[in-house]
A = this chain, B = another copy of it.
């Protein structure tokens, strides 16, 4: 028979089981933390009508879409979880309770240029709080506390959540009459970590800004010191613009509450160079960096927006949220060795039988499973060495051996696969041990 070559498409992550276990652990940590903060799950289709997904058309994304027709329908695979949320809220606004705290973890699709560490199918893990008409600013401070808790639980301890507010950026540009070029300015200063101050100045000159105003911008984006120093300096810039002052009020409040939410001072900071996309966010914005690996870019970003569902409804739904790109994050953490190498198996114990009658093994497995212990029986008629090798490869921590002797005495041999230690135990002892 002519064989087809088994292959997986480039840009699509497909893990071996032992890595998948680690991936799923990360996913579970994220999900459990979202639930701990009272977020409700939703699960929207991966395929949506193209018209619905592209209600807000344009931009880079459109080129990357997976779009196709089926019958009379123009269909597109979702490229993020925000547009589906906007649709969901517009569609179900009469049936959901506001403020609507929702999380969604699911795959999204972008036909990016294939290169190492870039994925065309990847998991996003999003939370958003959506208000009906209005939404309290304290929500903007709770989000960073969730980011903090997740990354600590994922075993990271050298990261920083950078916080800014789009209103102080916009206010600054309004105050120097540079509102029309504000997007270009933001795009430029967004690159400061990459290209440095001098290159930023050069690009700003190309926007026909005066040297004075360029200095003002540079001063603004390079303020230093503690968070309180920065708040003071931003105040002292003495910018008498309403938007700026409103942004300052919000930023101060967000900082005040982040502290109340117990995020330690080392794990957040004000960063006035962060703009975060260009037309979506309207207030608080966040990015999260690994201090030792800044070149990776932000590993968790988000912010406040005025009007989630404006392309579908006249109702106003302001919101604040953040997103973790789990597939890329897993790839990166694995790559730089920050995922604990302490690989865990699914099975807690493997039962191997030295005798051909396997009924005792099944009986014991029944009891262990009743006690909620993940248990596997090795059924195949292999040499004992092969059975131990299997447990070893799968990193199953314990093996129970059943032989004629065990049947006679009613005691079981429990082997610790890590230490090699063997012990005669009865089943109850084993259950107690494995429950720890």
Contact = CB atoms under 8 A, between A and B. Distances in A.
A1 B363 CA distance: 68
A43 interface: yes
A228 interface: no
Interface residues of A, number: 101
Interface in A306-338: 309-314
B37 A90 contact: no
Interface string A1-41: 10111111100111111101101100000000001111111
Nearest to A375: B38
A143 to B, nearest CB: 12
- Oligomeric state, in number of copies? 2
A99 B260 contact: no
A8 B75 CA distance: 11
A77 to B, nearest CB: 8
Interface stretch (A44-52, A167-175, A274-282): A44-52
B362 A9 contact: no
Interface string A98-117: 01011000010101000000
Nearest to A86: B6
A411 B314 CA distance: 44
A381 B369 CA distance: 49
A44 B47 CA distance: 18
A267 interface: no
Interface stretch (A133-141, A187-195, A197-205, A412-420): A133-141
B107 A9 contact: no
A262 interface: yes
Contacts of A260: 359, 362-363
Given A44-B8, A91-B6, A99 B393 contact: no
A97 interface: yes
A38 B373 CA distance: 10
A109 B380 contact: no
B138 A358 contact: yes
Contacts of A48: 8-9
Nearest to A390: B97
Interface stretch (A65-73, A239-247, A291-299, A428-436): A65-73
A144 interface: no
B38 A374 contact: yes
B4 A312 contact: yes
A283 interface: no
A380 B131 contact: yes
Contact of A313 (B6, B36, B362): B6
A47 to B, nearest CB: 6
Nearest to A68: B68
A394 B261 contact: no
B39 A97 contact: no
Find the residue from A46, A51, A67 having the highest chain B CB count within 10 A: A46
Given A3-B311, A5-B312, A68-B66, A139 B379 contact: yes
B372 A36 contact: yes
Interface string A382-400: 0000000010011000000
A284 B136 CA distance: 60
B380 A134 contact: yes
Contacts of A24: 41
Given A3-B313, A46-B46, 16 more contacts: A3-B314, A6-B313, A9-B47, A12-B47, A15-B42, A17-B102, A20-B42, A36-B372, A36-B373, A38-B374, A39-B346, A45-B121, A97-B394, A136-B380, A136-B381, A260-B359
Interface of A: 1, 3-9, 12-18, 20-21, 23-24, 35-49, 51-52, 55, 66-71, 73, 75, 86-88, 90-92, 95-97, 99, 101-102, 107, 109, 111, 120-121, 131, 134-136, 138-139, 142, 149, 257, 260-262, 309-314, 346-347, 350, 358-359, 362-363, 366, 369, 372-377, 379-381, 390, 393-394
18 contacts: A3-B314, A6-B91, A8-B87, A14-B44, A17-B42, A21-B41, A23-B43, A24-B41, A37-B369, A40-B394, A46-B46, A47-B120, A97-B393, A99-B379, A131-B380, A136-B379, A136-B381, A138-B377
